[in-house]
Structure 1
Amino acid sequence: MTAANNAPAPELLAAIDLGSNSFHMVVARLVHGEIRTLEKMGEKVQLGAGLDAGNNLTEAAQQIALACLSRFAQRISGMPPEAVQVVGTNALRVARNAHRFLARAEQVLGFPVEIIAGREEARLIYLGVSHTLSDDTGRRLVVDIGGGSTEFIIGERFEAQELESLHMGCVSFRNRYFEDGKISRRQMDRAITHGAQELLNIRHRFRSLGWQSAVGSSGSIKAIASVLANLKLTNGSITLEAMRELRRRLVDMGQASRLGELGVRPDRQSIFPAGFAILMAAFESLGIEEMTYADGALREGLLYDIAGRIQHEDVRDRTIQALQERYHVDQQHAQAVEDTAMTIYEQVADQWQLRTAADEEVLRWACRLHEIGLTISHSQYHKHGAYLLRYSDLPGFSQQFQRDLATLVRGHRRKFSPAIFEGIDSEEDRRRLRYLCIITRLAVLLQHSRNHEAPPELSLSADTASLSIRFPEQWLDERPLTLADLENERDYLARQDFKLRINE
C-alpha cells in the first residue's frame, strides 16, 4: 500500500473541467459520503475557437487559458494530489499540440491534467447529473451540449447504460454556420440537418432502449430553458412545441447581437443559435417531447469520482475486473505476477522515484491485464493486449492512463526497444514507464512456470541505469529455466544501456 492509501481522507475536493467553451472549477467538502459544494468558478475561455486550420492551439488561446488556470491555481494551492482532478475534453482531444499546452497548464496549476475520451466524459456527466436529481425510478436521457462535442447518455439511478459522444458542439457549429452573427432560415436549417446527420448513428439504439424522462445539463441548455421561460412559452422546462416557436423567433430576429432582447447574456449570444440547432436536432431525431434542466455536470461527476476512489469504490477496479472476465484472463496467474511485481516495487520505488499512487496503480493493473491479448492470438499477444488497452473505452480511465497501461503490457516481454515508448513526449513519463516496465518484465519472468508460488525473499538495489537482484541460496539452482530467462533478460536490457545484475 502507498502512503496515499493510508492517509486520512482529504477535507476538501476540487474538480476542474477544461471545456472547449468554458473552464469550470468546483471546490467541495466531503461529509459522510455526501458532497457539499463550497465554491464554483467559471470563465468563458473558448479554447475550441483557438484551434487554427491545422488543429493546433494558437499561442493567444493558450495564454487566455493559462491566465484562467492561474486564478484557479490560487484556490487549490496546497490541496493533496488525490483530492484534485483536472480534465480536458474535446478541444484538447483534437489539438495536435495538446501535450505542449498540458505541460504549461500543469506547471501553472501544480496538478496533473488528463485528457478524457468522449464516452468517459459522458459517464462523468451522467454521474454528476444523477447525483443532483431525485432518486426516481425509470430510465432517464441526459444531453450535454459542450463547445466541441455533445454527450448523450441513457441511465437509471447512478448507472449509465448507453453512452455516446458526438463531434458537434456550440463553438464548432457557431464557427461553421453562424460565424457572421446572422441567423437566417437557411443557416439554421443547415445546422439542424447537420446535427440530425450526426445523430443517425445513435438514433435507433437510443430510441429502442427508451427513457421515462429527459434532462439537459449544459450552459446552452440552461440558456434555452431561461429564454423559453422569459418568453412565457414554458414554465422553465423545454418542450418540442416551444422549441419550434423559438426557432421561428430566432430566424425573424435575424441577428445574434439582438439576443439580449430575449435575456441571453452577452458572452453567450454568439453561440446560442448553434446550441439551439443541436438541441433542436436532438428533439426531432430522438423524439424528445419535454426536457428539464439539471445543474450537475462533468465537474460534479468528477467530484463523485474522486469521492468513490477515496471511499474504495473506484470504478476503475470494476473496469479492470470486467476486462479480465471479458478476455478470459487467468486471474490466479495474474495475481501471482502482481504480488511479485509489488515485492520488487517496494524495494526499488524510492530509488527510482516511483512513490505515487498512480505508479502503483498502473503497475498493479498492468500485471492483472498483461495477458488479455491471448484471446486474440498467442503470437505477439503483448501487442494485441496493448492495442486493446490503448483504444478501448475504459470507464474511469483518462487517455494518458490508458496509454501508460498499454505501454507496460506492450513492453512486458520480448525485446525491450525504444519503440515501446513511442508517442510519449515527456522525458519524465518515459523514465517512469521504463522503470515500471522493467518491474513488470521481471515479475512475469519470475512467474514463468505458472505454478503461482509466492515470490522469493529477494534483495534488490537500484540506481538510474542498473538493478541488482540477490536470490535466496539454492533458489536459482533449483530453477534452471528461470535462470536462463534472467540471463536472456539481462541481454535484452543491456541493449538499452541498462545493467541487470543477478546474485553479484
Structure 2
Amino acid sequence: MAENLFAAIDMGTNAFKLVIVQAHFPGKFLPLLTAKESIVLGRDSSSSTISSHSQQLSIKSLNKFNEIIQTHQVPALHTRCVATSAVREARNKSQFIDSVAESTGFNVEVLSGEQEARFAYMGALQFLPVYDDLVLNVDIGGGSTEFAIGSRGKVEFCSSLKLGHVTLTQQNFGDDEVERVLNMREFIRNLVKESGLIEKVKDFGFQVAVGSSGTIRAIERAVFKGYQLGYVDNEVFFRECKRDWRFNRKELKSVVESLCKGGEGEKARRDALFKRRSQSIVAGGILLEEIFDMLGIDNMLVSGYGLREGVIADTLANAYGDGYDLNSNARFRSLLQLAAGFNGKKKTTSAAKCASMARVIFEGLRKCKERDNNEVGLTVPLDDKDLDYIEAACLLHNIGLFAGKKGYHKQSYHIIMNGNHLHGYSAKEVKLIALLTRHHRKKLPKFNGSSFNEFGDEEKQKFGVLCAIVRLCVLLHQNGYVSYKEMEISHSHEGFELLKGTYIQAGREIMIKSVTSAIPIYTMQVFKMPKKLCEDINAAVARFWWGQQQDEGRFHWIKWDNLADPKEKGGIGFRDMKIMNLACLSKQIWRLHQNPDALWAQILKGIYFPSTNIWEAKKGARASWVWASLLEGRDLIKENSQWLIGDGSKVNIWDDRWILKQGKVELKSDVQRQDLRNLPQKVQHILNKEDGIWDLSALQQIITEDTVEAIHRMPICENGGEDRMVWRASKNGEYSVKSGYFMLKNAEDRQSGSKASSSHQISDELWKKIWAWKVPRKVKNFCWRLCRGALAVQLFLWKRKIAGCVVWV
C-alpha cells in the first residue's frame, strides 16, 4: 500500500497546504487526507524578507505535516515540498530554505512563475474534463497570479504577474473605500497592460477558461450560496443543491459589488461566509473581475484541485514514465460524480469497496499469470485499460437503484448510455462499461445479440472474463463474504482460488447459507439422503464456520444443534441437512395432494395407490427409492395440517385432523381401535345436509364429550363443495419448506430437551435486538459470541476446563 502513496506540500503566500493521495497506474488518484496551516509569509515584515517569526511558524507547520506524512508511511521519494511567490521574491530565500531543510528534512523546490502556472494547469486537468480543449487557466495566489494556455497537457503559453490578493490588500490605495477600489482597479489594469498578457492571450486564443485557486473557489461558493442575493444564511434553500463549479461574468460582478459595500453589517456577512479569507477576498474579487474584462472571459469553470494536485500529477508522470495518462484522473472523477449523483453516500461507498475488491482480484489474476510464466489458463490477456473498465462498472453498477430494485441493472445501463456523463472515454468504451453494468446480475450476456455487433471475437472473449470478475465482486461484496483488504488469489492446476483464510466469520454465515440452501436442494426434494451424508455436510459447515482448515484441530465453541437454532433462539440459523431433507420431501407430498391431475402425480397414483389416496397409500414390497423417500415426508403433512370440511367425502373421521382447535377425534379410554370398523368412516356420513346439522348419534357412545361439543361448534357449509386441506403453520394455508423445517426442528428440540444453559439465561427479545442492530455484521457476530460464551477469554476457557487457564477470584 505504501508504494501507492504520494504527498505534496504547497508553501503558499497565504497558507501552507498538504495533500496525501493513493495513486494507481496509469495516473488516477484519490485524496486520502488534506491539511492546512494559516501561515501568511511576510505579513509582519515591511520589506520583502521572511521574518524570523514567520520562519518559526513555517517550520512548526512543516514539522506537523512531516509527522502526518510519516504516520501514513509515505515514501520519502514520493513526497515533494514546493514554494511559490512569497519565497521566490524573498531576499533571505536561501537562508530560509536551508533552515527548513535542517529542521524538517524537506528539500524545498522554489517554483518559477512559469512552473507555478504549469502545475496549476495540470492540477485543473485532474479535476475537470477539459483535457482536449484549449484551456486558459487562471490561478490567483497570495503574491502572484499565474496564467497558462494549454491543450492535452501541453502548455503553449504561461505567464506570472506580481498581482496577488494578499499583496494587493497590503498596499496603500487610499483611505476612502471608493477611492481605494478605483485606485486598485487602475493599478491592476496598468500592470496587466504593461505585461503584454492581453496580446498573448489573443494570439493563442482559448476555448475554456478555468480558475484553480482558493480565491476563485471562494467566489464560486459565494455565487452558489447566493451571496449577491442575500441568500447566504438560508441553508435550507441550498441543502439539496449540488455545486455547479462554474459562474459567469454577470454573477462575478454582482458578488464583487456586494463585497465592495461598506458598513459593519456587510463586513459581518462577509466574515461569516469567507472566514479567514474575508480580509483579502475583496482584492481577489476585484482582480478576477478585471481579468474577466481585459481577457474577454464570459464564463469560467472552477477546479477543486490546484497547485498541490498539479505537483502530484508531475510526480506520478516521473514515477510511471511513458505509461502515465494525464487525463486518467479526470475520467475517474467523472465516474465518481455520476455515482454520487444517483447514489447517496452509503451506496457510493459500497460501490467503491466493490471496485477495490475488483482491483485485488484483477491484480491477483495478473500476478498469477506472470508468476507461472503465462501458463495460467486465461483465454485473453488483461491490461490496465481492462482494470479501468471493471472498476468503472463496479462503481456504477447500482446507480439504477434510484428507480427501484426491480430491473435496476437495466436502468444503470440506460443512464450510462444516454446521459453523456462519462468524460474522456470513447463511445465504444462507454458502451463496454454500460454492458458490464447491465450483465452484473441476472442473465449472462448473449454475444450473438445486436449489442455486441461492434465487438470482435477476442473482445467478446475478454468481455466474458471482465463480466465474470464484476459479477463475482458484486456477489462477494453484497453478501459480506470477505474483507477486500485481506483478499488473496492463489492458482493451481485446478484453477484460481480465493483463499479461505481471508473469510471473516460474519461473511462465512452468508456463504454457508447460500451454498447449503442451493447446491443439494434438487436431490433433497426427490431422495432421502443417507444419514451419514447429512452428518458429513453438517460437519463440513461447522468446520468452515469455526475456521477449521484441513488436517487442523479447531475448538468448536457451540455444538451443532445449537448453531442450527433460529437467531431469535440464540443460534445462527444454519440448516440441519437431515431435517431439511424431510421438509423438502414433504413439499412433494403437498404438491401431489394439491395437483392430483399433474402427469407425474397420475403416474405415481397408477403405480402405487390406484384405488386409494396419498394419505392411505402403502409403501409396498417393491417400492422405488423415490417413492419410499416421498412417504418419509408424509407424516409431517398429516400431523400438522387441518381439513376444512366441504362435503366431507375425502376426510376420514378417525385418522385425519378435521376438528377446529382440536384436530383429531378423541376416543373414550375404554374404546379400542378395532371397535371402529363398523362405524361411519367418512365425515360425510355424519353430516345431515338437509337440516344442516351434525348427526353424532352413532358416535356419542365412543367419543369424549369435549369432542362432541367441538364438532357441534363447527359451522356446516351450506353449498357443500370439496374438502380442502390447509397447512396450519402459514397464514395462507399453503405448505412451505421453511415452515415445515421449523416444525420438524422444534419437534426434535422438544424431544431431545437439551439446550445450552447460556441461551436459556438470555431472553428471545435480546437475541432479536442483537440481530436487528444497524451495525456491521462483524459487530453483531461479536455480540452473539459474547452472549453465547464463545470467545477465547480466560473465563470461558476456564469454564470449559481447558488446561493452562486460571481465573482469580
TM bucket normalised to smaller: 0.5 to 0.7
Contact map agreement 2:174 2:180 (CA 8 A) in 1: no
Other structure's SS at 2:255 match: helix
Amino acid across the alignment from 1:210:
G
Contact map agreement 2:5 2:75 (CA 8 A) in 1: no
101-110 vs 268-277, which deviates more?
Answer: 101-110
Q: TM-score, normalised by structure 2?
A: 0.36
- Measured after TM superposition, the shift of residue 84 of structure 1 is 0.9
- Measured after TM superposition, the shift of residue 124 of structure 1 is 0.8
Amino acid across the alignment from 2:287:
I
1:69 to 1:79, Cα distance in 2 relative to 1, 3 A: same
Deviations 1:18-62 (A, max 9, x none): 001111111111212222211111122111424x23322111111
Deviations 1:445-490 (A, max 9, x none): xxxxxxxxxxxxxxxxxxxxxxxxxxxxxxxxxxxxxxxxxxxxxx
Which whole-Å CA distance do the structure 1 matches of 2:265 and 2:188 have between them? 20
| Paired residues for 1:24-63 under 5 Å | 24-33=17-26, 34-50=28-44, 52-63=45-56
Which whole-Å CA distance do the structure 2 matches of 1:115 and 1:54 have between them? 19
Amino acid across the alignment from 2:10:
D
- Measured after TM superposition, the shift of residue 141 of structure 1 is 1.1
- Measured after TM superposition, the shift of residue 312 of structure 1 is 2.5
- Measured after TM superposition, the shift of residue 280 of structure 1 is 1.2
Give the corresponding residue for 1:376.
none
Which whole-Å CA distance do the structure 1 matches of 2:228 and 2:266 have between them? 22
Contact map agreement 1:193 1:281 (CA 8 A) in 2: no
Give the corresponding residue for 1:426.
none
Which whole-Å CA distance do the structure 2 matches of 1:185 and 1:10 have between them? 55
Which whole-Å CA distance do the structure 2 matches of 1:46 and 1:164 have between them? 23
- Measured after TM superposition, the shift of residue 179 of structure 1 is 9.5
Other structure's SS at 2:6 match: strand
Contact map agreement 1:16 1:26 (CA 8 A) in 2: yes
Amino acid across the alignment from 2:66:
A
1:75 to 1:218, Cα distance in 2 relative to 1, 3 A: same
Contact map agreement 1:106 1:112 (CA 8 A) in 2: yes
Contact map agreement 2:87 2:110 (CA 8 A) in 1: yes
Give the corresponding residue for 1:82.
77
Contact map agreement 2:42 2:51 (CA 8 A) in 1: no
Give the corresponding residue for 2:124.
129
2:163 is aligned, of 165, 168, 176, to 168
1:69 to 1:236, Cα distance in 2 relative to 1, 3 A: same
1:48 to 1:151, Cα distance in 2 relative to 1, 3 A: farther
Which whole-Å CA distance do the structure 2 matches of 1:287 and 1:99 have between them? 40
Give the corresponding residue for 1:239.
248
- Measured after TM superposition, the shift of residue 260 of structure 1 is 3.0
Contact map agreement 1:9 1:310 (CA 8 A) in 2: no
Contact map agreement 1:73 1:108 (CA 8 A) in 2: no
Structure number having the greater strand percentage: 1
- Measured after TM superposition, the shift of residue 284 of structure 1 is 1.0
1:159 to 1:233, Cα distance in 2 relative to 1, 3 A: farther
The reply to whether residue 147 of structure 1 matches residue 156 of structure 2 is no
- Measured after TM superposition, the shift of residue 217 of structure 1 is 0.9
Which whole-Å CA distance do the structure 2 matches of 1:257 and 1:73 have between them? 40
Give the corresponding residue for 1:267.
276
Question: How many residue pairs align between the two structures?
Answer: 305
Amino acid across the alignment from 2:34:
K
Other structure's SS at 1:70 match: helix
Structure number, greater radius of gyration: 2
Deviations 1:223-279 (A, max 9, x none): 111112222669653322222223332333356971535753321111101111210
Contact map agreement 1:230 1:262 (CA 8 A) in 2: no
- Measured after TM superposition, the shift of residue 140 of structure 1 is 1.4
1:314 to 1:164, Cα distance in 2 relative to 1, 3 A: farther
Contact map agreement 2:248 2:300 (CA 8 A) in 1: yes
Amino acid across the alignment from 2:190:
Q
Amino acid across the alignment from 2:29:
I
Percent identical pairs in the alignment equals: 28
Flag the structure with more relative contact order, 1 or 2, with Cα contacts below 8 A and sequence separation at least 6: 1
Amino acid across the alignment from 2:295:
L
Deviations 1:83-106 (A, max 9, x none): 111111110011111222212222
Which whole-Å CA distance do the structure 1 matches of 2:174 and 2:55 have between them? 21
- Measured after TM superposition, the shift of residue 299 of structure 1 is 0.6
Which whole-Å CA distance do the structure 2 matches of 1:66 and 1:79 have between them? 20
Which whole-Å CA distance do the structure 2 matches of 1:119 and 1:171 have between them? 20
Which consecutive residues of structure 2, in runs of 5 or more, have no partner in the other structure? 230-243, 325-809
Contact map agreement 2:117 2:159 (CA 8 A) in 1: yes
Which whole-Å CA distance do the structure 1 matches of 2:264 and 2:295 have between them? 28
Contact map agreement 1:178 1:273 (CA 8 A) in 2: no
Other structure's SS at 2:16 match: strand
1:108 to 1:265, Cα distance in 2 relative to 1, 3 A: farther
Which whole-Å CA distance do the structure 2 matches of 1:147 and 1:170 have between them? 5
Structure 1 moving runs of 4+ over 4 Å: 177-180, 232-236, 254-257
1:287 is aligned, of 272, 291, 296, to 296
Which whole-Å CA distance do the structure 1 matches of 2:131 and 2:89 have between them? 37
Which whole-Å CA distance do the structure 1 matches of 2:265 and 2:3 have between them? 45
Give the corresponding residue for 1:221.
216
Q: TM-score, normalised by structure 1?
A: 0.57
Which whole-Å CA distance do the structure 1 matches of 2:280 and 2:264 have between them? 12
Give the corresponding residue for 1:278.
287
Contact map agreement 1:127 1:301 (CA 8 A) in 2: yes
1:162 to 1:48, Cα distance in 2 relative to 1, 3 A: farther
Give the corresponding residue for 2:3.
10
- Measured after TM superposition, the shift of residue 153 of structure 1 is 1.0
| Paired residues for 1:464-479 under 5 Å | none
Which whole-Å CA distance do the structure 2 matches of 1:20 and 1:179 have between them? 24
Which whole-Å CA distance do the structure 1 matches of 2:295 and 2:319 have between them? 38
Which whole-Å CA distance do the structure 1 matches of 2:100 and 2:169 have between them? 26
2:61 is aligned, of 68, 82, 100, to 68
Other structure's SS at 1:30 match: strand
Which whole-Å CA distance do the structure 2 matches of 1:232 and 1:215 have between them? 21
- Measured after TM superposition, the shift of residue 79 of structure 1 is 3.7
Which whole-Å CA distance do the structure 1 matches of 2:221 and 2:317 have between them? 33
The reply to whether residue 120 of structure 1 matches residue 129 of structure 2 is no
Which whole-Å CA distance do the structure 2 matches of 1:313 and 1:91 have between them? 34
Which whole-Å CA distance do the structure 2 matches of 1:137 and 1:214 have between them? 13
